[in-house]
Amino acid sequence: MFRIFKLVMALLLGMTLLIGCSGRMDRSLTGPKGTASPGDHTIPIRVGEIDRSYTVHVPPDYTGRSSVPVVVMLHGGGGTGKAAAFETGWSSKADATGFLAVYPEAMPPDPKKPSRFRSNPQLWNDGSDRFYPGQTAPDDVGFLNAMLDDLISRFAVDRNRIFVTGFSNGASMSFLIGVKQSRRIAAIAPVAGALWLETVQLERPVPMLYITGLADPLNLIEGGVPKLATGGSDTVRAKPKPPVRESIQKWVRALDCPAEPRRRHAANGIHTEQYGPGRDGAEVLYIAVEGLGHTWAGGRSLLPEYMVGKRSEKIRATDVIWLFFQNHPRK
């Protein structure tokens, strides 16, 4: 575990901050099970009576002859899978290291109307009960579970290396799927989201890496109602969030880790805490970045600074998360 901590710290302090996305157009799957051309494939899936979809980015060296890891990236509230790919660079990372990058699409409150960021945003039913007053909320846990089944039926997937990350509302959803599907999810990495469940019980210990910004107006370190960087209220996501440390400690307890961090480190505006070992050697890694607003660290942002705060290139979240995932396959 100390070796992992040192590797992460070395990456944090000396990483190359390159940002990119594949830029390839969607294309159809062809050939027998397990084969697919490189690039993006948007796949429709029917869950119950609802039509959903997800996009798979296939790296150029994928052959289908051997199983590969999967990284599921859950977009933020009001976002899309395409936007998440652009903001985070997960597709470029998949090309460089040989895994499937998967981008599911959340649903808007009114699925009969076009999705719009302000008036009808795509939102994950993340356990917060924020978005669907007076109506039936979508079963996003069921959707993601069905998506993984569908993915495994189409591609050569290493079932011990299925990882989930997400941003903001997608980060909160990654917490929820990590709890509800702990037997199939190897590790999770929420970025700037909240764990809304009052209690966390894991059938299998799921290691967790959490990244957030200390200047994030929509994911306040001390908790409370999200604010835009201008000081105005975020009316769509107005339910008060728990303090970040409360979410961290809930997962620490769920893994049976000691309450106090095993190691702390601060350098170059990056604050890191490592908790564990817990059950089956599982751990929690918490990283807070000075000056970072509600954006993906080391990535891009489609929203203006006056809404979400500043970007930061102190770390590249995608690289740090991938390193964490590589060291935490399902046991």
- pTM score: 0.90
pLDDT over threshold 80, residue 21: no
Q: Summarize pLDDT for 268-280 with one digit per residue, the tens.
A: 999 999 999 999 9
Q: Summarize pLDDT for 202-257 with one digit per residue, the tens.
A: 999 999 999 999 999 999 999 998 876 666 555 555 688 999 999 999 999 999 99
**Predicted local confidence at residue 23, as pLDDT:** 36
Residue 264 is assigned to a structural domain of this protein: yes
**Predicted local confidence at residue 118, as pLDDT:** 82
Residue 331 is assigned to a structural domain of this protein: no
Residue 21 is assigned to a structural domain of this protein: yes
8 Å CB contact between 68 and 55: no
Number of structural domains in the chain: 1
Report which secondary-structure segment, H or E, holds 274.
strand 270-275
Residue 181 is assigned to a structural domain of this protein: yes
8 Å CB contact between 96 and 66: no
Q: Summarize pLDDT for 148-204 with one digit per residue, the tens.
A: 999 999 999 999 999 999 999 999 999 999 999 999 999 999 999 999 999 999 999
Q: What is the CATH number of the domain that holds 19?
A: 3.40.50.1820
Phi, psi of 143 (to 5 degrees): -60, -50
> How many CB atoms lie under 10 A from the CB of residue 304?
10
The amino acid present at 79, given as its one-letter code, is G
> How many CB atoms lie under 10 A from the CB of residue 30?
9
Q: Residue 23 belongs to what domain range? A: 2-326
8 Å CB contact between 173 and 74: yes
